[in-house]
Structure 1
Amino acid sequence: MAAGGSYSIVEYFGGDDGYRCGYCKHENGNFSHGMWSHTMTVQDYQDLIDRGWRRSGKYVYKPVMNKTCCPQYTIRCHALNFHPSKTHKKTLKKVNRFLSKGEMPVEQHDEGHHEGEPMDSVHEEGVQPPPQDPLKIDHSEVQDISTSPDTDTTNSTAPTMPRDDAEKTTNVTPKPGKGVDPNRPLCRKAKDLRKERRLQKEQQKHQEAVSSTVNPAPSKSSSNQPKSLEEFITESLPNDPLHRLEVRLVRSNPPSPQFKASFDASYQVYKLYQMAIHKDPPDRPTESQFKRFLCDSPLEAETAPDGPDVGYGSFHQQYWLDGRIVAVGVLDILPSCVSSVYLYYHPEFSSLSLGTYSALREIAFTRQLQQQSPKLSYYYLGFYVHSCPKMHYKGQYRPSDLLCPETYTWLTIERCIPRLDISAYSRLNENARAGDARALKELGRVLVLHRRTVMPYAAYARKRKGSNDEKEVEQYASLVGQTCAERILLYRA
């Protein structure tokens, strides 16, 4: 449970069916476990990505590493120790020449960041959101009886969800004055509205801080020290450049006024990107698809005394060139990292290598946030796919680590590459005695949500005599680990 009293709530789907792979294009070789996250705290998601999970919209998935055609390893960069390579420096100089003099380089393919990376279309085709949302509940209405696995819930008087709301949906619109219209948004609690307004005010309050964060000033260094990333970003830019680039951070969930105002412009850039880079037909990059995968997020907006000024949660980092959006980085700001979700840009500027440029800006952004929140020191680039050469660029942001798919420990990429050269799937951790520190030990302590009541699985199993879901719950809990299994609520109908 988050500090504010909120739970993460998920529905688990398993991972038995194969889907089309976005990397090698195998029609049914991609296997992953998945769950629909109705809501999730940033700490729970941090712990999940440190166990190999990743989100696409509200769908959170974990590749079946020893079965999927293209094993996907979570990769993170040590932002504080990052030093740009020659290629990175060339990209920064290229962008700065364009900004200062208007020099547009000859068209070239950007191998830098998200180029050719699929937007998890496999999950769009294979997993649809639940046909109903039985979990639109106020946390204050949930009774928590999870303090002991031995709690008897047979005679519990906890508030229950009306059967009609929980088990069926309807498209019938009631007559005026005859009840709630299910086809219109639910009325929101006053305290939720107050919370959203407070977050928006905090975001506006820190707008100047954000501006300086995403447009870092060069730091002073002695002449015998190499230039920092921040110095390369602002190097050679005159006070009055020919083109002006502004980087804006806008919260996408809940959507801030700035996000709403720029939504249409951002969507148009996404549509052009998908058609030009990924060859999508004009009717495929729909607004609903854009919202579902790049705007919707289960992550709750959170703030903490030791957290960054902008707070935690999901954001869009927009690149405005001379007053128009030319690129957008979709980011999650979590307790220990900035996690890159996706990047799209206007094809007109593809020769500027905006993929590489945005990744470098995001690393600099992570370093700035770390000054406000000391433990936020990593930049996550999603998945590294060694069997797909187009994804090798992620390994060039060093120092970086890969996550062992069996022990969930981090190993330097230099140690991992030789093993991956031999086999696409590898344990990575060479210590045969090392194990999963958060492995499932007590199935009975897994938290479930049943009829608005939070209870341990042991109590639920007694209440639901004859229930045959033990194997499914055990699989889920082993994948999220004991710690998360005791915090996240697994929905049970």
Structure 2
Amino acid sequence: MASVVEYKGLKAGYYCGYCQSREGKASCGLWAHSMTVQDYQDLIDRGWRRSGKYVYKPIMNQTCCPQYTIRCRPLQFQPSKSHKKVLKKMLKFLAKGEISKGSCEDEPMDSTMEDAVAGDFALMNKLDIKCDLKTLSSDLKGSIESEEKKEKSIKKEGSKELIHPQAIEEKLGSGEPSHSIKVHIGPKPGKGADLSKPPCRKAKEMRKERKRLKLMQQNSAGAFEGFQAQGQPVSLLPKAKTNQPKSLEDLIFESLPENSSHKLEFTRFLCNSPLEAEHPPNGPECGYGSFHQQYWLDGKIIAVGVIDILPYCVSSVYLYYDPDYSFLSLGVYSALREIAFTRQLHEKTSQLSYYYMGFYIHSCPKMRYKGQYRPSDLLCPETYVWVPIEQCLPSLDNSKYCRFNQDPQAEDEGRCKDLDRVRVFYRRSAMPFGVFKNQHNDPSEEPAVLEYANLVGQKCSERMLLFRN
């Protein structure tokens, strides 16, 4: 089994959804008629990413908003405070039916699209899905709506109904499930402060008070330990309070009471993609390939995430969700579940230990939130080595395009070194490019094949079959 691809070349001067430049984007692309999971793993490790069967690579030193491949290290991952808020919000909703009020501070709203190229409507990256159509430009909004009209709002798969990706809208401000945006005009006139009640305390003062009480408790516990050393009975000592932070799994898989208000279930099944499904004996139980992950709430499907399970990682693709449940921050919640899922796969398949989140765009402030999933690494756009994001940020603050590898002598070790060994597919036959070149004697073929081979790397160019007319 070999990947069969058709190189589409450079596409430059088209619309960017990150900075709204009408002709600032530049990328190279190829159409994947079929692709092995190992080839796609090697491609994303060279800055490529798929949207359906179209696989593209931003030209980093030319495009208006450089997109750096980012991966999280799930084995060392610790959820941040905002991540824990999302998980606790979901638990409260499931257990008691509570809907959190007030503004959602999990992550900023995004107004962005992945590359729409070669006539293929690009789907939103699952971590970029939280988007308000009202904040997009009219041109971009029109293109989204026109594409959505072409699709049916509901697709049948067996006896289950899948939600169409029409849920690209999320309310700003409060967490109430709604399609509209309420504008807060101003406070209503009141009667002033109630002098019969104590004055409101500032949050800073309350934190100081809690810290002072905690120190007093610690000091008293130390005094009791001193008494114990002098023969004081242990039963008189205060019980030690464990204050271990909950792990990601503790927060996600916390048991719910029997009378919970809601029930959330998950199903997973293979979905159509250019990736060929594989089930090696030493691989994960579900195998490698592209999967739909369905989120069912009380028997109703509310979200569908698409992931690629590859030899070394779980790669996030996109998420469809019902906008009525945007108050649950499903984009963040599904990402945290997928990080936990990567950990589970690692237990069976030790080399599978990364979670790829798509692209990190530092030049777009709203797109920096992916860097909050720590620890994480960015891919050097010149040498294709992984560098911890903390080392990359100072350089990105000074320039939107950066080489992260600090060794000035380092080169791209995977670049094309022997063009004649590139495999091509011509008239139903696979052959090295050297043989094809000698048969056709067409000098115009070589520049395009060389460009392709340098972008995909020598390893992939020798395994994949490049379609030639």
Instruction: Tell me if 1:241 matches 2:252.
Output: no
TM-score normalised by structure 1 residue count: 0.69
Tell me if structure 2 keeps the 8 A contact 1:92–1:357: yes
**RMSD over equivalenced CA pairs, Å:** 1.9
Select the residue among 413, 418, 422 that pairs with 2:398: 422
Select between 239-248 and 474-483 the one with higher mean Cα deviation. 239-248
Tell me if structure 2 keeps the 8 A contact 1:106–1:351: no
Partner deviation per Cα, 1:242-283 (whole Å, 9 max, x = no partner): 100001112113xxxxxxxxxxxxxxxxxxxxxxxxxxxxxx
Tell me if structure 1 keeps the 8 A contact 2:109–2:366: no
Deviation at 1:239, TM superposition (A): 3.3
TM-score normalised by structure 2 residue count: 0.72
In the other structure, the counterpart of 1:371 is: 347
Deviation at 1:115, TM superposition (A): 4.5
Structure 2 counterparts to residues 427-442 of structure 1, below 5 A: 427-442=403-418
In the other structure, the counterpart of 2:250 is: 231
Partner deviation per Cα, 1:146-177 (whole Å, 9 max, x = no partner): xxxxxxxxxxxxxxxxxxxxxxxxxxxxxxxx
Q: Secondary structure at the match of 1:31?
A: strand
One-letter amino acid of the structure 1 residue matched with residue 26 of structure 2: F
Residues 386 and 46 (structure 1 numbering): CA distance in 2 closer, same or farther, change over 3 Å?
same
Deviation at 1:429, TM superposition (A): 1.1
Residues 114 and 341 (structure 1 numbering): CA distance in 2 closer, same or farther, change over 3 Å?
farther
One-letter amino acid of the structure 1 residue matched with residue 386 of structure 2: W
Tell me if structure 1 keeps the 8 A contact 2:73–2:353: yes
In the other structure, the counterpart of 1:278 is: none
Counterpart CA distance in 2 for 1:61 and 1:122 is 9
In the other structure, the counterpart of 1:29 is: 24
Tell me if structure 2 keeps the 8 A contact 1:19–1:122: no
In the other structure, the counterpart of 1:251 is: 270
Deviation at 1:111, TM superposition (A): 5.2
One-letter amino acid of the structure 2 residue matched with residue 73 of structure 1: Y
In the other structure, the counterpart of 1:42 is: 37
Instruction: Tell me if 1:59 matches 2:78.
Output: no
Structure 2 counterparts to residues 322-337 of structure 1, below 5 A: 322-337=298-313
Select the residue among 459, 462, 467 that pairs with 1:486: 462
Deviation at 1:107, TM superposition (A): 6.2
In the other structure, the counterpart of 1:464 is: 440
Select the residue among 12, 15, 20 that pairs with 1:20: 15
Q: Which has the higher contact order (CA 8 A, sep 6+)?
A: 1
- In percent, how many aligned pairs have the same letter? 60
Max Rg structure = 2
In the other structure, the counterpart of 1:302 is: 278
Partner deviation per Cα, 1:128-154 (whole Å, 9 max, x = no partner): xxxxxxxxxxxxxxxxxxxxxxxxxxx
Q: Secondary structure at the match of 2:296?
A: strand
One-letter amino acid of the structure 1 residue matched with residue 101 of structure 2: V
In the other structure, the counterpart of 2:336 is: 360
Counterpart CA distance in 1 for 2:77 and 2:291 is 23
Residues 250 and 309 (structure 1 numbering): CA distance in 2 closer, same or farther, change over 3 Å?
same
Counterpart CA distance in 2 for 1:332 and 1:352 is 24
Residues 110 and 470 (structure 1 numbering): CA distance in 2 closer, same or farther, change over 3 Å?
farther
One-letter amino acid of the structure 1 residue matched with residue 2 of structure 2: Y
Would you say how many aligned residue pairs link Structure 1 and Structure 2? 351
Counterpart CA distance in 2 for 1:227 and 1:123 is 46
Counterpart CA distance in 2 for 1:389 and 1:63 is 19
Deviation at 1:345, TM superposition (A): 1.4
Q: Secondary structure at the match of 2:13?
A: coil
Instruction: Tell me if 1:91 matches 2:86.
Output: yes
Q: Secondary structure at the match of 2:415?
A: coil
Structure 2 counterparts to residues 440-455 of structure 1, below 5 A: 440-455=416-431
Is there any run of 5+ residues in structure 2 with no aligned partner, and where? Answer: 123-240
Select the residue among 98, 107, 112 that pairs with 1:103: 98
